[in-house]
Chains A and B, each alone.
Chain A
Amino acid sequence: MSIAAPASQSGTLAEVLGVFRRIASTFTGTMGLFIVAMVISAAIFAPWITPYDPDALDVMRRFQNPSATHWLGTDHLGRDLFSRLIMGSRIAMAVALSAIAIAMITGTLLGIAAASLPAHIERIILILFDVIASFPSLVLALAVVAVFGPSTQLVVVIVAVTLIPVFGRVARAQVLTINNAPYIEAERLLGASYARIVVSHLLPNIAGPLVVLASMEIPVVITIEAGLSFIGLGVRPPLASWGTLIYDGYAYLSDSKLPVIIASSALGLATLGFTLFGEALRDAVDPRLNRDH
């Protein structure tokens, strides 16, 4: 990754708008943007747009087909599927964003530490990264959940831990590259402290790649959370993620296929949309990161 000149704070809004314009210039980018906007809006405005309480039982009205009163029908306990679907988007976003935030902060700090501290500490951090990365994330999640029992917070923490090496390695690479840049040398000679260099030069330069990385990891996190919920080890009731919906629906597949189809479609569409968006974002921010053309 090459180093741009120190980022300027003014004109950042123009930069961001430019990025969005570039994303919207391709068909896949627009599609991704649209889906992401839909999911995020659903997540934010969930309490206001759900027609029913997602947990309201009405066993008399189970397995209903879509109708004017229940837009997507009801599940095996008579709960409105549309409302539960909207709720699911909220869970997906909440888990994804909090897990990624934790991983990004922790990973970046560790990465900077790895690049700045003496070699033996660096080795320890790198081995730690390798060990974490050596677990398939789902298996790690399963193992930890088995020991501590399932809980929503735990899911967030596990997913965050699996992402730490991803952010950490990128942060470390950036620090190593920047450390060698001539203008950094110049600043050092002029007496700037290490912390100042890190804050004023490293962080602005690293922000771009980290944001791109974060947005590309969102669908991964959504998938892990959904996967865990699908086997009953994810978020706990009353919270219901899309994975939970599939889990519930799967048990009653013979009664009604609708819940499974709806929840799976939502999941598939969301992951597709976020992936398209993430890739378009990456291309818009730094086309050099994409070797596909």
Chain B
Amino acid sequence: MIETARYLASRLVTTALIVFGAMLLLFTLSAIVPGDPASALLGPQATPEYRAQFIKDMGLDRPFHERLLVFFGNLLTGNLGTDILSGKPVWSIISSVLPFTFILTFAAIGLAVLLGVPLGCFAAVRRGSIFDHILAFISVAFIAIPSFVIAIFLLLIFSIWLDWLPVLGEGKSGDWLDQARRLILPTTALAVGWIGFIARLVRTSMLEVMGENYIRTSRAYGLSERLVTYKYALKNACIPTIAILGMGVGRLLGGAVLVEIVFSRPGLGRLIFDAIATRNYPVLQGAVFVVVLIFVVTNLLVDLSYSAIDPRIRRQAGREAMPR
């Protein structure tokens, strides 16, 4: 119990340090922009009075260390600033689109695990068969091709050419079925690369595990092949999968950004994209902060769940191609 608490504490501290470091990096980058930040943010048409007011409001005339302190002070109190354009608090803007990104990401992970694990398991059990070879090739193809390219092709094929599924946007709110339908293509596009990746990973792990001594023990006692494979071996094989999934959440978020844009879905990705286009600096900063936070917290949760499943907390580093 104590060792778990200590591990948890050390992970929390590391997490906080990483978030702190990342935000420091971001803030420093923004502060050393050559030239006049106000012009960059407001554009050349702003009147001198407006600019002066803006500089005062944004605290851009204060010295760097003061701005830094204010920035972090705000972060800690949960104040992410105010949107320049609409005047609304940044946090409320972010929180209104956050659910969409979450839904897409979780749906994609869920789909990837749901399809990838059985496929990989099956390929391992039927090693060397036609199925195994086909899966191997498809896996690489899925992993290699960027998810937004897959998204574009899915869009072209299923929505435009075949007209099976509605394409853009998130659907009418309150209409559950409509929203679900519009989720299908984006989720598939995001998940496809991960299905291939998980399948390969599970297959490799299963093959390794099946050769281990503890599986030999189970076989020596005559336990059924089904029990040996699906209860014992699969659990051992899933460990590296979870670890690498955790490491891949960041890439998933990156992919989600582009997929949201392809399908015109609202979400964190779209928000960042629009904020860049309109030079909406507070929103951009806030959104990036939230992304970093999500990413780091997810890693933490993955680490913890991982140690719950594998009592020995064993880490594996993958040096394989990952989906983009």
A interface residues with partner B (beta carbon < 8 Å): 28, 127-128, 130-131, 133-139, 142-149, 213, 216, 219-220, 223-224, 226-227, 230-233, 246, 250, 253, 257, 260-261, 264, 267-268, 271-272, 274-276, 278-279, 289, 291-293
Interface 0/1 of B141-152, CB less than 8 Å to A: 101111011101
30 contacts between A and B (CB under 8 A): A127-B21, A130-B14, A131-B18, A134-B296, A136-B250, A136-B251, A136-B253, A136-B254, A137-B250, A137-B254, A139-B253, A139-B257, A139-B272, A142-B272, A143-B288, A144-B29, A148-B29, A148-B33, A232-B277, A250-B152, A253-B160, A264-B152, A267-B149, A268-B149, A268-B150, A271-B144, A271-B145, A272-B140, A275-B140, A293-B207
Interface residues of B in 5-37 (CB under 8 A from A): 14, 17-19, 21-22, 25-26, 29-30, 33
> Which of A144, A275, A291 is within 8 Å of B321, CB to CB?
A275
* Minimal beta-carbon separation of A38 from chain B (angstroms): 16
- Cβ contact within 8 Å between A147 and B29: yes
> Which of A216, A223, A250, A253 is within 8 Å of B146, CB to CB?
A223
Question: Using a Cβ–Cβ cut-off of 8 Å, how many residues does chain B contribute to the interface with A?
Answer: 57
- Cβ contact within 8 Å between A267 and B276: no
Query: Measured between alpha carbons, how far is A206 from B54 in the docked complex, in Å?
Result: 53
> Chain B residues with Cβ under 8 A from A257's Cβ?
156, 160
- Cβ contact within 8 Å between B292 and A135: yes
Query: Measured between alpha carbons, how far is A146 from B273 in the docked complex, in Å?
Result: 9
B306 at the interface (CB under 8 A from A): no
* Minimal beta-carbon separation of A75 from chain B (angstroms): 16
* Among all A-B residue pairs, the 5 with the closest Cβ atoms: A138-B254, A275-B144, A136-B250, A136-B254, A131-B21
Closest to B29 in A: A147
* Minimal beta-carbon separation of B268 from chain A (angstroms): 9
> Chain B residues with Cβ under 8 A from A213's Cβ?
319
B324 at the interface (CB under 8 A from A): yes
B295 at the interface (CB under 8 A from A): yes
> Chain A residues with Cβ under 8 A from B281's Cβ?
146
> Chain A residues with Cβ under 8 A from B26's Cβ?
143
A219-B25 CB under 8 A given contacts A134-B292, A257-B160, A275-B321: no
- Cβ contact within 8 Å between A219 and B144: yes
- Cβ contact within 8 Å between A291 and B204: yes
* Minimal beta-carbon separation of A66 from chain B (angstroms): 17
- Cβ contact within 8 Å between B319 and A289: yes
> Chain B residues with Cβ under 8 A from A246's Cβ?
152
Query: Measured between alpha carbons, how far is A149 from B208 in the docked complex, in Å?
Result: 48
A131-B22 CB under 8 A given contacts A136-B254, A226-B146: yes
Query: Measured between alpha carbons, how far is A278 from B160 in the docked complex, in Å?
Result: 35
Chain B contact surface mostly = helix
A139-B254 CB under 8 A given contacts A134-B18, A146-B276, A220-B324: yes
Interface residues of B in 221-257 (CB under 8 A from A): 250-251, 253-255, 257
Closest to A173 in B: B317
Closest to B285 in A: A143
> Which of B258, B276, B319 is within 8 Å of A145, CB to CB?
B276
Closest to B294 in A: A136
A292-B144 CB under 8 A given contacts A131-B18, A143-B26: no
> Chain B residues with Cβ under 8 A from A149's Cβ?
40
Query: Measured between alpha carbons, how far is A92 from B324 in the docked complex, in Å?
Result: 16
B275 at the interface (CB under 8 A from A): yes
- Cβ contact within 8 Å between B149 and A264: yes
> Chain B residues with Cβ under 8 A from A272's Cβ?
140-141, 144-145
Closest to B145 in A: A268
* Minimal beta-carbon separation of A241 from chain B (angstroms): 13
* Minimal beta-carbon separation of A150 from chain B (angstroms): 9
> Chain A residues with Cβ under 8 A from B261's Cβ?
230-231
B176 at the interface (CB under 8 A from A): no
Query: Measured between alpha carbons, how far is A197 from B291 in the docked complex, in Å?
Result: 43
> Chain B residues with Cβ under 8 A from A261's Cβ?
156
> Chain B residues with Cβ under 8 A from A268's Cβ?
145-146, 149-150, 153
A271-B146 CB under 8 A given contacts A131-B18, A135-B292, A136-B253: yes
> Which of A139, A223, A276 is within 8 Å of B288, CB to CB?
A139
> Chain B residues with Cβ under 8 A from A264's Cβ?
149, 152-153
- Cβ contact within 8 Å between A227 and B21: no
> Chain A residues with Cβ under 8 A from B145's Cβ?
267-268, 271-272
- Cβ contact within 8 Å between B148 and A230: yes
Q: Which of B22, B144, B276, B295 has the most CB of A within 10 A?
A: B144
> Chain A residues with Cβ under 8 A from B284's Cβ?
143, 146
Query: Measured between alpha carbons, how far is A140 from B139 in the docked complex, in Å?
Result: 28
* Minimal beta-carbon separation of A69 from chain B (angstroms): 26
- Cβ contact within 8 Å between B272 and A276: no
Closest to A282 in B: B319
Q: Which of A134, A246, A253 has the most CB of B within 10 A?
A: A134
> Which of A143, A223, A260 is within 8 Å of B152, CB to CB?
A260
* Minimal beta-carbon separation of B270 from chain A (angstroms): 10
B182 at the interface (CB under 8 A from A): no
- Cβ contact within 8 Å between B18 and A130: yes
B164 at the interface (CB under 8 A from A): no
Query: Measured between alpha carbons, how far is A136 from B322 in the docked complex, in Å?
Result: 13
A146-B149 CB under 8 A given contacts A130-B18, A134-B22, A272-B141: no
Query: Measured between alpha carbons, how far is A264 from B143 in the docked complex, in Å?
Result: 15
* Minimal beta-carbon separation of A134 from chain B (angstroms): 5
Interface residues of B in 254-306 (CB under 8 A from A): 254-255, 257-258, 261, 272-273, 275-277, 279, 281, 284, 288, 291-292, 295-296, 299
